[in-house]
Amino acid sequence: MTENIYAGLTQLGGSTVQPKSPEEAVLERVPNPNPGAAYCVRFTAPEFTSLCPITGQPDFAHLVIDYVPGDWLVESKSLKLLLTSFRNHGAFHEACTVGIGKRLADELSPVWLRIGGYWYPRGGIPIDVFFQTGEPPKGVWIPSQDVPTYRGRG
Amino acid sequence: MTENIYAGLTQLGGSTVQPKSPEEAVLERVPNPNPGAAYCVRFTAPEFTSLCPITGQPDFAHLVIDYVPGDWLVESKSLKLLLTSFRNHGAFHEACTVGIGKRLADELSPVWLRIGGYWYPRGGIPIDVFFQTGEPPKGVWIPSQDVPTYRGRG
Amino acid sequence: MTENIYAGLTQLGGSTVQPKSPEEAVLERVPNPNPGAAYCVRFTAPEFTSLCPITGQPDFAHLVIDYVPGDWLVESKSLKLLLTSFRNHGAFHEACTVGIGKRLADELSPVWLRIGGYWYPRGGIPIDVFFQTGEPPKGVWIPSQDVPTYRGRG
Amino acid sequence: MTENIYAGLTQLGGSTVQPKSPEEAVLERVPNPNPGAAYCVRFTAPEFTSLCPITGQPDFAHLVIDYVPGDWLVESKSLKLLLTSFRNHGAFHEACTVGIGKRLADELSPVWLRIGGYWYPRGGIPIDVFFQTGEPPKGVWIPSQDVPTYRGRG
Amino acid sequence: MTENIYAGLTQLGGSTVQPKSPEEAVLERVPNPNPGAAYCVRFTAPEFTSLCPITGQPDFAHLVIDYVPGDWLVESKSLKLLLTSFRNHGAFHEACTVGIGKRLADELSPVWLRIGGYWYPRGGIPIDVFFQTGEPPKGVWIPSQDVPTYRGRG
Amino acid sequence: MTENIYAGLTQLGGSTVQPKSPEEAVLERVPNPNPGAAYCVRFTAPEFTSLCPITGQPDFAHLVIDYVPGDWLVESKSLKLLLTSFRNHGAFHEACTVGIGKRLADELSPVWLRIGGYWYPRGGIPIDVFFQTGEPPKGVWIPSQDVPTYRGRG
Amino acid sequence: MTENIYAGLTQLGGSTVQPKSPEEAVLERVPNPNPGAAYCVRFTAPEFTSLCPITGQPDFAHLVIDYVPGDWLVESKSLKLLLTSFRNHGAFHEACTVGIGKRLADELSPVWLRIGGYWYPRGGIPIDVFFQTGEPPKGVWIPSQDVPTYRGRG
Amino acid sequence: MTENIYAGLTQLGGSTVQPKSPEEAVLERVPNPNPGAAYCVRFTAPEFTSLCPITGQPDFAHLVIDYVPGDWLVESKSLKLLLTSFRNHGAFHEACTVGIGKRLADELSPVWLRIGGYWYPRGGIPIDVFFQTGEPPKGVWIPSQDVPTYRGRG
Amino acid sequence: MTENIYAGLTQLGGSTVQPKSPEEAVLERVPNPNPGAAYCVRFTAPEFTSLCPITGQPDFAHLVIDYVPGDWLVESKSLKLLLTSFRNHGAFHEACTVGIGKRLADELSPVWLRIGGYWYPRGGIPIDVFFQTGEPPKGVWIPSQDVPTYRGRG
Amino acid sequence: MTENIYAGLTQLGGSTVQPKSPEEAVLERVPNPNPGAAYCVRFTAPEFTSLCPITGQPDFAHLVIDYVPGDWLVESKSLKLLLTSFRNHGAFHEACTVGIGKRLADELSPVWLRIGGYWYPRGGIPIDVFFQTGEPPKGVWIPSQDVPTYRGRG
Ligand SMILES: [Ca+2]
Ligand SMILES: [Ca+2]
Ligand SMILES: [Ca+2]
Ligand SMILES: [Ca+2]
Ligand SMILES: [Ca+2]
Ligand SMILES: [Ca+2]
Ligand SMILES: [Ca+2]
Ligand SMILES: [Ca+2]
Ligand SMILES: [Ca+2]
Ligand SMILES: [Ca+2]
Ligand SMILES: [Ca+2]
Ligand SMILES: [Ca+2]
Ligand SMILES: [Ca+2]
Ligand SMILES: [Ca+2]
Ligand SMILES: [Ca+2]
Ligand SMILES: [Ca+2]
């Protein structure tokens, strides 16, 4: 019964062209099958990479996205393609993380959304960026992301 | 003295037929032996598997269920059989996790219930689903589920 | 100066007979040496075992007990003997955990008490039981019990 | 240049029918692109499930397979389908683990092969099975599988 | 095909009487279904308890047993019952651990056997006992038991 | 500039006589160099030992002390000497932990103070004691002490 | 588009002279590219070292800085140079940690800032210092720093 | 004294053009400053990414390279650029890992070299590849790479 | 049957006087109940403390002792008293650790003995001492002590 | 009795001038108090820092040194001062680590020596250097250094 909500999708299950930039990537969504339920969905994406806008060198991050759906769920393959589309895109850590969070919030109109960007160290110092669209809604359970702290060596 | 609450059960301790689908599975319950006490019960089920409704491929999840009993306790063997009945059932991660939570809430009428579904990665990105029936009741102790974050490799 | 509060004890330091059942076990208590202080005491008992009331097979649990003393402290050797007395006693996980909590609350009249029972898996699914006598008192520090989640294998 | 070794494959990249039993599963192989190199390949499969041949209840295992290829590499999608084909197959832990190891050894003719089966506990006691085709070849590096020991609770 | 090796068993799958002492416990065995294969089987038993022969107080241990089968496999339920039979048996740590190892070696005639007994601390100092029947056979893979070291607190 | 606050100290940097008892130990303090700032200072002392007042046997604990300074900082060498002075002093776990907390609170007049005493197991059961002078002050950041739970073996 | 906010910087990307003291170090800042978003930025600096103002011996710390930007972001290379400038600077743990926090708060005018200084042990007792500019702002997500507790040995 | 061995380098310390493919990347080397010493050098590269030669989708790996230098050391910036050059290169896991190992062995003529490729899961099953140029030389210390095993979830 | 080997002991089970120095401590032994078996016994003692012979300040260590018994087993309470007797004894780390190992070897005449002393840091640098009486005997299983490495902070 | 071996030392226990360079640092040694015993001593130094010889920027490392003493023990305070003397010294990772190992070997004439240098990442890639003076001597126990692998983020 829940399957037909995927009827309008164009990327899932077909052969896919990798989008070359975030602008080219198309985020797809399906109706929330449990619109009355208070629940949170988490995606963990340890395979994120983008480019430094100054030097062109690759940057890497471990991203964790939590959201409380409103009318829509994000289709997970299109989310993956959106993340992949940053592969050749230059952006600073803060702007990149917050930007992904804002785009998801804009296109999904969730009740609430949070993104944690845990970037690999540069100059011996990693940067983490923690963005959310506002205070978490009451009555919804949103566990800690609990990504281990960076520890250097030893 | 608490033992006779199990008198009406049909599955516990007998030889059991595996239910072939969630519809076929029968959840059994016993009167709460401590109806006046504020307590929470947790089941951890790391052996859950279902099918992808699109491709038919197996999916796997680690489930953790917390509930504050009202008049009833769930009988644990019948809970196990309910979870096992998803083995040949197709459902998306979000629908499957929330659906189990709702069915337990419907049939047990607990004071409160929470389910965390920690799914194995697909496309390099695991999905977690966090559902609860509402804000946790005051005065009851409900520890964090604290399932480790997915970390990829390294 | 604090030592003479132990004057009335019968079990501590003497040779002890193991009580054969919870009914036979005698919980001893001493006056709280710091009655005006807001503090919490934790006992961690990873060596707990009882019997399944249906099959007679041994069950095992890791118990953690927190309490905020009122007029009394529990004498720790008598607590150990109480826990040991469940060795040949049949009780379900929920009843056993809550029952120990209630008995301690009855006999010690603490300001507040909490017990976590972390049972070893049966049928691949461990049960945890979390009981407390009510909302934790304000101004007292009660750290998370933070017992690691069950993880199956791998 | 290494890509055309995949020319004869029938399962990779196409839409796939899930094999219903190990007998039905077809293991595919490709010529070893580095036949002169001493190397070892490891597959980690935490999503394995089969059935108990006596009770029909599901069993779960975390499998790790190491092999030193000879003339052939196993095609990884066909390996996955082989493992998936045990989903409705009844076999004891020892027979199942050793059987998978032997079948891979028969069909791939590797220089050497090892399989570790780390099964979820039954009756509170997990079974691990460690099979290899003989002493590891000299000069090849085969790291410890280092799967964490089962610890019960606490 | 492997199933009929269990034909002569009396405990598996039936209702079982708990043996009251190690002497009363009957270890059952089945023909090794892979007699030509070099493999090792590990049982991890974190739920072991016995009595101190001097004080009668309960002792607890985490046991890990590795063996390389010869003509026989141990039937796992009978192994569990043997371990359970120590519940009311008094024995020192060294004698208990080595004794279990020797009994298994006597009754199973394995190619080789190892037992590690990791006992809970007494007097602040835990004892571990490591017994094997001799040097491990060449060509068989026997991973480290890798039970974490006792660490006290902090 | 901050250095001259240490002008009146008698123990720091000089050769020191170990105090033989808590009574003999002198806690020294220096003016808080940041009196307007809301901050917390944590000392972690895993090398604490005292004596059992009944048996005279050594006890060991891992202590963690957090405080929000008011007008004074404790001089850390004098704190170390105070802790060392318990080496030949007999006191129960609860009294010893709360007593250290109270003495520091008396002599330092902090805005707030917390002490956690994580004692090594006796009779298989460790005791933890958690004391604070009252509810933590608003606006000050006091992280969890997060000392790992005692786990026994395995 | 976000790149030109870096136009006025003098240290980033050029060859840099190491500042010899905190006074010499110049903290640079750029306009916050997401001024309307509620987000937090974390820097983890496990490579911090300064000098003891009394003995001249090196001290080491692991620093974690969280801040909620207002109009400005700190430029990360200038932050690194500021931290490096303490290499030959003498300061006590409390003063050093709070001082860095205050300077960042002064020069960045953030909505809120927190610094945790986790110092390596001296005399067997490490000191941690936890400073923040006030209560965390509502609606912003600020995860626990979750740096592991010091554990001594074993 | 050791510094002038870097005299002929072209990439270190200068502004660098990212090589577009492994063919374009130039590995630079410097004379081994300790040619008589038996030592091993390890590089850990958790930021490696390449493309799947069939689907063009990104793959990720955590690489660890150990080598015992002969006449040459690899210059680390050129190694980083070589690894980065796989970003738009298609190669299977086995071929990619072994290929990097062989190229380093060819161009550096080390006494011995080992590479571990720990790839992120595809289809729920990660692949690890372990290559070395032959048996490790006697008398040189080569610690285990000890990369944690993949564990799925829970 | 094994119990009467303890007949000659004077310390076990009686009330005990703490020995004031290693010289005063009496190590007791009992006949090895399994003289023909190849086994190893491990004691883990995380509660060891002695004094610095120069400054008189307390030192702390985590000790692990492994031995392969010959004709004798050490009686564990007398071992504990021996270790406790160092409480007011001054000795350097190397001498203390090796000295305990030698004394045990002298008085127990084991087939083989090993002691690891893992000392708490002084001056930021812990010292570990690893002593054994010679190469481990063939055919006996002696697992790694695997005490975690000291890591400082972070 | 062992104390007088320290009679000729000039740095221990006195007030010390920090050496400004490795050349200025004086390594002191004392006669080995157990010259006939086969033992190994480990120093763990997580607080090491030096300078990059090209850029002058600080580098950090976690060092672990193992040695089997011959006629001499290194005096630990002089070792600490030697390590501290690299604070303003420029050297590459490989040269620095091997150089410290060689100097210790030269001045102590140990039976055998090993040094592991675990450097903090630069360019996202940490370097480890593993040096030893030759094959470890037979009969001496030298545990794995077991420093955790670098893992990046997530
Ligand atoms: Ca470190
Ligand atoms: Ca956690
Ligand atoms: Ca990684
Ligand atoms: Ca698993
Ligand atoms: Ca346990
Ligand atoms: Ca290990
Ligand atoms: Ca400790
Ligand atoms: Ca925790
Ligand atoms: Ca256990
Ligand atoms: Ca934590
Ligand atoms: Ca310890
Ligand atoms: Ca390991
Ligand atoms: Ca799992
Ligand atoms: Ca280890
Ligand atoms: Ca660190
Ligand atoms: Ca990662």
pLDDT digits (tens, 9 = 90+) for I11-55: 766 667 889 999 999 999 999 999 989 899 999 999 999 999 999
State the ligand closest to the CA atom of F149.
8
Is residue I151 a part of any domain in this protein? no
- CATH number of the domain to which F55 belongs: 3.30.1130.10
| Segment E25-82, tens digit of pLDDT | 999 999 999 998 989 999 999 999 999 999 999 999 999 999 999 999 999 999 999 9
Kindly report, residue by residue over C65-78, the tens digit of the pLDDT.
Answer: 999 999 999 999 99
Name residues 66-125 of chain C within 8 A of D (Cβ).
118-122, 124
The neighbourhood of ligand 15, an ion, using CB within 5 A, equals A 152; G 46, 62; I 154
- E–G CB contacts, 8 A cutoff, strictly below: 7
Instruction: Please check whether residue J6 lies inside any domain of the structure.
Output: no
Domain count, chain H: 1
pLDDT at D134 over 70: yes
Exposed/middle/buried for residue C15 (C-beta within 10 Å: 0-12, 13-18, 19+): exposed
Alpha-carbon gap, residue I123 to D87, rounded angstroms: 58
Rounded to the nearest integer, the mean pLDDT of chain H is: 93
Residue J11 located in a structural domain: no
Residue H126: closest C-alpha in chain B: B153
| CA D59 – CA D88 distance, rounded (Å) | 10
What pLDDT does residue B62 have? 98
ipTM exceeds 0.90: yes
Task: Identify the residue whose tokens are 């945890």.
Answer: C128
Chain D positions in Cβ-Cβ contact with residue F154 (cut-off 8 Å): 149, 151-152, 154
Per-residue pLDDT reduced to its tens digit, C5-58: 667 777 766 567 889 999 999 999 999 999 989 899 999 999 999 999 999 999
Q: Quick check: is D6 in a domain?
A: no
The pLDDT of residue C18 is 87
pLDDT for the residue B5: 67
CA distance F109 to J134: 59
The answer to whether residue F58 sits within a structural domain is yes
Cβ contact I43:I81 at 8 Å? no
Nearest-CA distance B59 → chain H (Å)? 9
Span D92-114, mean pLDDT?
A: 97
Q: Please report the number of interchain residue pairs, chain G to chain I, with beta-carbon separation below 8 angstroms.
A: 41
**Catalytic residue check, C146:** no
pLDDT at G2 over 50: no
The pLDDT value recorded for residue G3 is 47
Measure the CA–CA gap between D43 and D34, rounded to whole angstroms.
Answer: 18
Task: List, in sequence order, every beta strand (DSSP E) within chain F.
Answer: 29-31, 39-51, 58-68, 72-74, 112-119, 127-132
The rounded distance, in Å, linking the Cα atoms of D27 and D107 is: 8
Give strand pairing partners of I29. Answer: I74
What's the confidence (pLDDT) of residue C23? 96
Structure confidence at residue J10 (pLDDT): 75
Distance H151 CA to ligand 10 centre (A): 19
Q: Which residue of F has its CA nearest to G129?
A: F41
Using DSSP's 3-state secondary structure scheme, residue D18 falls into coil
User: Taking all residues of chain C, what is their mean pLDDT, rounded to a whole number?
Assistant: 93
pLDDT at C6: 67
H and I adjacent (3 or more CB pairs under 8 angstroms): no
Flag whether pLDDT at G14 surpasses 50. Answer: yes
pLDDT computed for residue E36 by the predictor: 86
In contact, B70 and B32? CB cutoff 8 Å: yes
Task: With respect to residue C57, please indicate whether it lies within any of the assigned structural domains.
Answer: yes
- Could you list which residues have their CB under 5 Å from ion ligand 16? A 46, 62; B 152; J 154
Local mean pLDDT, 10-residue blocks, chain J (154 residues): 61 75 96 93 98 95 98 96 97 96 98 98 97 96 97 94
Domain range for C53 is 33-132
Three-state SS for C78? helix
> What is the number of the ligand closest to the CA of G150?
7
Tens of each residue's pLDDT in chain I, 154 residues: 344 666 777 776 666 788 999 999 999 999 999 998 989 999 999 999 999 999 999 999 999 999 999 999 999 999 999 999 999 999 999 999 999 999 999 999 999 999 999 999 999 999 999 999 999 999 999 999 999 999 999 9
User: Tell me, what's the pLDDT at D15?
Assistant: 62
Q: Which residues of B touch H62 (CB under 8 A)?
A: 153-154
Task: Pick the closest to residue D143 from D63, D47, D41 (CA basis).
Answer: D41
The pTM (predicted TM-score) of the whole model is 0.94
* Interatomic CA distance for residues B62 and B150, integer angstroms: 12
Q: Which of C64, C69, C75, C81 is nearest to C109 (CA)?
A: C69
Q: How many CB atoms lie within 10 A of CB H152?
A: 26
Task: Report how far residue A33's alpha carbon sits from residue A6's, in angstroms, rounded to the nearest whole number.
Answer: 11
Distance in Å, CA A153 to ligand 15 centroid: 6
Where chain B has pLDDT below 50, the residues are 1-3
> For position C33, what pLDDT does the model report?
92
Q: How far is D15 from B58, CA to CA, in rounded Å?
A: 15
Of E125, E130, E145, the CB nearest to I40: E130
* Beta strands C39-51; C72-74: pairing state: unpaired
What are E88-136's pLDDT values in tens digits? Answer: 999 999 999 999 999 999 999 999 999 999 999 999 999 999 999 999 9
Q: Classify each residue of H30-57 as buried b or exposed e, where b means 16 or more C-beta atoms within 10 Å of its C-beta.
A: bebbbeebbbbbbbbbbbbbbbebeeeb
pLDDT, average across residues D140-153: 96
In-domain check, residue B154: no
- Please tell me the distance in Å from I90's CA to the nearest CA on chain E: 23
Q: Beta strand D72-74 with I39-51: parallel, antiparallel or unpaired?
A: unpaired
Residue I17 lies in a domain: no
CB B123 within 8 Å of CB H124: no
E139 to D134: CB separation less than 8 angstroms, yes or no:
yes
Contact assignment for H46 to A120 by CB distance below 8 Å: yes
Read off the pLDDT band of H3 (50, 70, 90): very low
Contact B95 A33 (CB under 8 A): yes
| CA of I146 relative to ligand 14 center, distance in Å | 5
Tell me, in angstroms, the distance from the centre of ligand 4 to residue H150's CA.
9
Query: Where does the pLDDT of residue A88 fall: very low under 50, low under 70, confident under 90, or very high at 90 and above?
Result: very high
